[in-house]
Amino acid sequence: MNILTKHLGAWEKLILRMRRMGIRRQDIAESFTPSSRPGGQNVNKTATCVTVRHLPTGVEARCQQERSQGRNRFLAHEALLDKIEGLRKARSEALRREIERKRRSRRVRSARSAARILEEKRLRSAKKKLRAQVRETE
């Protein structure tokens, strides 16, 4: 945590995180529904369950942990950012693996390795020739 974010509130930190990730507040849709959990009259009367959706990606997060709608709203936004971050990391990791796979397939093999591969191919070819169909001779 740096000096600039040390004295900020939770929402300000969340907004800064959204800005760093390139997510705009306009791209997030919120909906509120009654919670389906124990919590007494407060939960039954108010819409404390919060669902947030990132419209460009379709990623959705839902929170009904707390009795307070405001706290659930904050937690849902946090969960949404975590999900989006996880998806981005997974996508970049898959891309990195694919690049690495292509790099390995294009590299020049050592003379010893190439000779071993050729020898294995010759042996495999010899095995296949033994499997040739038997022809009847008259």
pLDDT tens sequence across 40-90 = 666 667 788 899 999 999 999 999 888 888 899 999 999 999 999 999 999
In this predicted structure, what is the pLDDT of residue 3? 52
For helices 10-21 and 69-106, the axis angle rounded to 10 degrees is 30
Residue 130 inside a domain? The answer is: no
Residue 136 inside a domain? The answer is: no
In this predicted structure, what is the pLDDT of residue 9? 87
In this predicted structure, what is the pLDDT of residue 61? 95
Joined together, the tokens standing for residue 56 give 């460009």
Residue 129 inside a domain? The answer is: no
- Taking alpha carbons only, the member of 20, 48, 19 closest to residue 34 is 48
Give, in degrees to the nearest 5, the angle at Cα 102 between 101 and 106. Answer: 120
Domain at 43, CATH number: 3.30.160.20
Residue 131 inside a domain? The answer is: no
Q: Which domain holds residue 33?
A: 3-93
SS (H, E, C) 7-71: CCCHHHHHHHHHHHHCCCHHHEEEEEECCCCCCCHHHHHCCCEEEEEECCCCEEEEECCCCCHHH
Averaged pLDDT for residues 4-24: 84
Domains held by the chain: number: 1
Give, in degrees to the nearest 5, the angle at Cα 26 between 24 and 28. Answer: 85
Distances, alpha carbon 113 to alpha carbons 5, 59, 108, 121, 124, in Å: 55, 47, 10, 12, 17
Work out the percent of the chain whose per-residue pLDDT is above 90. 57
Residue 135 inside a domain? The answer is: no
pTM of the model: 0.68
Residue 134 inside a domain? The answer is: no
Q: Cβ(38)–Cβ(54) under 8 Å? A: no
In this predicted structure, what is the pLDDT of residue 7? 60
Q: Do strands 49-54 and 28-33 pair parallel, antiparallel, or not at all (unpaired)?
A: antiparallel
Residue 17 inside a domain? The answer is: yes
Work out the percent of the chain whose per-residue pLDDT is above 70. 87
Residue 111 inside a domain? The answer is: no
What confidence category does residue 38 fall into, taking pLDDT thresholds of 50, 70 and 90? low
- What is the 8-class DSSP label of residue 132? S
Between these two residues, 4 and 68, which has the higher pLDDT value?
Answer: 68
In this predicted structure, what is the pLDDT of residue 138? 64
